[in-house]
Structure 1
Amino acid sequence: MRIRRVVTTRAGGESRPPFDSFNLGDHVGDDPAAVAANRKRMAAELGLREERFAWMEQVHGRRATVVDGTETGPAEATDALVTARPGVALVVLVADCVPLLLGDPEAGVVAAVHAGRVGARVGVVPSALEAMRAAGAEPHRVEALLGPAICGQCYEVPREMADDVEAHLPGSVCHTRKGTPGLDLRAGLWRQLADAGVGKIGVDPRCTAEDDTLFSHRRQRPTGRIAGVTWIEE
């Protein structure tokens, strides 16, 4: 089976500043009509029906929810979506957090994961992998993409916070370009995925705080959200 993965940028949409212009988040204070137009355009560009997109109410937790495309509205209080249904597009929205897209092409199982500092710390990725395994996936067949996120050189945090995340997600702690304590969540998640036996791990190196083509909550707030989208082709 062929698995598709797409990451959007902030260009080409209907939203006005400070959400300009391809904001896909409906929870950030943007004009709902603009968000709806942007989502409609994304569906058209990807060649999918709008009703085939699965969204989630992201809460920085570890819950993973299995969907099949028959749901109405976003999955409540969840930070990972999993499906084995072809043509159902799973969406994760971010503006500094890590969008993680997972897929087992042999089993035909995909997942979209919202892996921010809190969710990564409490184990959202293991939850997603376990839900994928229950649907027939095997870690050694899973391909992962760690999408654009704030980089370790920009993500400054207090020393106590850095040490706490490192204790739960080893490999995350780093120093910023200023020499202060920082977090590189993609590095920690890469290690976690590798330790779980995930076969292929790719990283989009773009930093949301440095790249003006992406939304960044740290650089500008309020701001919009880019999307990571994955689906199994029908």
Structure 2
Amino acid sequence: MNPSVGPGRTSPFHWEEEVRPGLRVAFTAAAAGNLALHVGSDAPSVQANRRLLEVEMGVPVASLRFMSQTHSKRVVLVDGDRTPTRGPDADGLVSPRGEEPLAVLVADCVPIILADASRSEGGTGATAAVHAGRAGIGNGILAEAVRLLTRAGAHDLAAWIGPSVCGSCYEVPEDMMTDLARDLPMAASRTPQGTPALDLPAAAREQLRRSGVRVEAVAGNSCTVENTGLFSHRRAPGEGRIAGLVWRTS
């Protein structure tokens, strides 16, 4: 969704919804501005974009947790202590009771949000934000995130997959496609020209299914390369990053 939120102003969200009572999940659009310190804009502009986003989310300023993402399979617990703005070197964050607002940054990789059943329903309320690129999917980062959530007591996990490069646009060498498709056949794809490609969202969906996680609908999802309202490294390297977000309102 991309509603107006005021005269002459565009929503920072590509999609945003209360997925459980008091729990919201969102994926930003380029209208939110670049949210990554390592590309594009200067640091003060990025910090300003982050503060504006926190206002839109209704969370305290400087409370949103980010990662320094490295295409690893490292997932870390967020324990309530303040972390540096840059965040830990990791590609997944887990909040054991969902009390910390979490962010994952992407510009073609797959942003994935996970959440346990709410505490009012006997669950932990735990949440996670995961950066699932080709390397992360190949290395099993989603299984690692589910493992940490389960260890924290989660038992009824759902996932929301945000916008990313589609299987028609992610052209790769033949051996790279074949390698990932050995375990995940649905990852194999082709571009309109017939060249080898990878369908990362399909691969992520299958890995979540294997981990016992149900994937819930995200309306209006689209390819980051094809949709100019989103950031894409393949289409415009260094322009910016969108965010997958999860936070609690009550």
**Corresponding residue to 1:118 among 130, 135, 141:** 135
Match of 2:8 in 1: none
Moved more, 44-53 or 125-134: 44-53
Aligned 8 A contact 1:64 1:127 in 2: yes
Deviations 1:121-166 (A, max 9, x none): 101100000010011112xx21111100000011111100001111
Residue 101 of structure 2 corresponds to residue 95 of structure 1: no
Q: Give how far 1:30 is off.
A: 1.5
Match of 2:144 in 1: 127
Give the direction of change, closer, same or farther, for the CA distance of 1:44–1:93 in structure 2 (3 Å limit).
same
Match of 1:231 in 2: 247
Q: Following the alignment from structure 1 to structure 2, what is the Cα–Cα distance between the partners of residues 43 and 85? A: 20
Aligned 8 A contact 1:24 1:93 in 2: yes
Which consecutive segments of 4 or more residues in structure 1 shift more than 6 A? none
Q: Following the alignment from structure 1 to structure 2, what is the Cα–Cα distance between the partners of residues 216 and 84? A: 31
Match of 2:67 in 1: 56
Q: Following the alignment from structure 1 to structure 2, what is the Cα–Cα distance between the partners of residues 167 and 173? A: 9
Q: Cα RMSD over matched residues?
A: 1.5
The aligned runs of 1:2-151 (5 Å cut-off) are 2-12=22-32, 22-73=33-84, 74-105=86-117, 106-138=123-155, 141-151=156-166
Give the direction of change, closer, same or farther, for the CA distance of 1:170–1:192 in structure 2 (3 Å limit).
farther
Aligned 8 A contact 2:208 2:215 in 1: no
Aligned 8 A contact 2:93 2:128 in 1: yes
Q: Give how far 1:107 is off.
A: 1.9
Match of 1:220 in 2: 236
Moved more, 78-87 or 88-97: 78-87
Q: Following the alignment from structure 1 to structure 2, what is the Cα–Cα distance between the partners of residues 59 and 107? A: 28
Aligned 8 A contact 2:167 2:189 in 1: yes
Q: What amino acid maps onto 1:124 in structure 2? A: I
Percent pairwise identity: 42
Give the direction of change, closer, same or farther, for the CA distance of 1:169–1:60 in structure 2 (3 Å limit).
farther
Secondary structure of the residue that 2:30 maps to in structure 1? coil
Q: What amino acid maps onto 2:25 in structure 1? A: R
Secondary structure of the residue that 1:171 maps to in structure 2? helix
Residue segments in structure 2 that go unaligned for 5+ positions in a row = 1-20, 118-122
Q: What amino acid maps onto 2:213 in structure 1? A: V
Match of 1:161 in 2: 176
Aligned pair count? 223
Secondary structure of the residue that 1:229 maps to in structure 2? strand
Moved more, 75-84 or 145-154: 75-84
Aligned 8 A contact 1:98 1:148 in 2: yes
Give the direction of change, closer, same or farther, for the CA distance of 1:157–1:231 in structure 2 (3 Å limit).
same
**Corresponding residue to 2:226 among 210, 219, 222:** 210
Match of 2:203 in 1: 188
Deviations 1:185-212 (A, max 9, x none): 0001111111211134335631000000
Q: Following the alignment from structure 2 to structure 1, what is the Cα–Cα distance between the partners of residues 235 and 150? A: 37
Residue segments in structure 1 that go unaligned for 5+ positions in a row = 13-21
Q: What amino acid maps onto 1:82 in structure 2? A: V
TM-score (ref. length: structure 2): 0.85
Deviations 1:30-88 (A, max 9, x none): 21111111001000000001232111110001011010231321442210000024441
Q: Following the alignment from structure 1 to structure 2, what is the Cα–Cα distance between the partners of residues 42 and 75? A: 17
Aligned 8 A contact 1:174 1:183 in 2: yes
Q: Give how far 1:26 is off.
A: 0.6
Secondary structure of the residue that 1:92 maps to in structure 2? strand
Aligned 8 A contact 1:8 1:226 in 2: yes
Q: Following the alignment from structure 2 to structure 1, what is the Cα–Cα distance between the partners of residues 202 and 79? A: 31
